[in-house]
Amino acid sequence: MAPGDGLAPGQQERIATAIDHARADNGLDVSVLVGDLVLEDLAQFRSAAERLHAALGERADSAVLLVVAPGQRRVEVVTGPGVRRRVPDRVAALAVLSMTTAFGGGDLAGGIVDAVRQIADAAGRRPALPPADHQRAAALARPDTTHGSSAVPALGAGAH
Amino acid sequence: MQVRPALVGAGLVVLLAGCSTEQGAYPHPGQSGGWTEGSVARTVLLYVLLPLALLVAVSVLAAVPQLRRRSRYRPQEGWSAAPVWFAGPADPATAVEQAEAGDVVRGGAGGSW
């Protein structure tokens, strides 16, 4: 397994478990996307992340989306309008800070897990949500040969 | 420096030659009934293959932790893996294509490392 070749099965398991804990203990809908985005300019990262958040559909209003782009070294936390009171921007900024610190040290899964816990703790307790379906986690796979990397399809103005 | 291989080769030749000699050639009587006596294959096994096997075993044991650690993320080396979406939409590709950010006011924060 070459470096940058993705999350190990154990790491994916840890992230999925953290998400399920947030749903069960805090009734918070958290989604995590790990992968680089197709962007002409990194300045579009926030708007691309917001569009990914919108892709959550009916859940989007009350969902928190973490977008982690390990190759582009960018992370974005997007909170829906219905959950902004539970997860204020201040909490999101703290989670981002702990993530960037962990990612800079090479701990991708640990940073994500800690951030999900931080956000869930700050969101307080609500009735539990059913466990998320993680089986389709890798359904986005599509190699982008022009960049030598994989990318989320149809994102950004200049999608290759 | 060809001295060392030559010395090793000479030593091996002497060793193998010694194994195939008659019983009387051994200076010490106690050695004559040895396991390697009279058998080149046994000598090779004992002095060549076993040390090699030991060397390989130690090398493998030393390499295993490194191999396991290679999956670690290194910021400088980029990222070539396919995107993984935990608790994402049922059909991510279609959902992303059809998604419209709209004029909804979303919160959050971002950063880089």
* Digit-coded pLDDT (tens) for A112-153: 999 999 999 999 999 888 888 765 554 444 444 334 344 454
Put simply, the answer to whether B80 touches A71 (Cβ < 8 Å) is yes
Put simply, the answer to whether B101 touches A51 (Cβ < 8 Å) is yes
**The pTM is what?**
0.69
Q: Which residues of B touch A155 (CB under 8 A)?
A: 96
Distance from the Cα of B54 to chain A's closest Cα (Å) equals 26
From first CA to last CA, the distance across chain B in angstroms is 50
> What pLDDT digit, counting tens, does each position of B62-106 carry?
988 777 665 678 888 888 888 889 998 888 888 888 888 888 899
Is A91 strand, coil or helix?
Answer: helix
Q: Which residues of A touch B72 (CB under 8 A)?
A: 3, 106
Tell me what the pLDDT averaged over chain A comes to.
83
**Candidate from B95, B107, B111 with C-beta closest to A57:** B95
Q: Which residues of B touch A (CB under 8 A)?
A: 70-75, 77-93, 95-102, 104-113
Query: 3-state SS string over A3-61?
Result: CCCCCCHHHHHHHHHHHHHHHHHHCCEEEEEECCECCCCHHHHHHHHHHHHHCCHHHHH
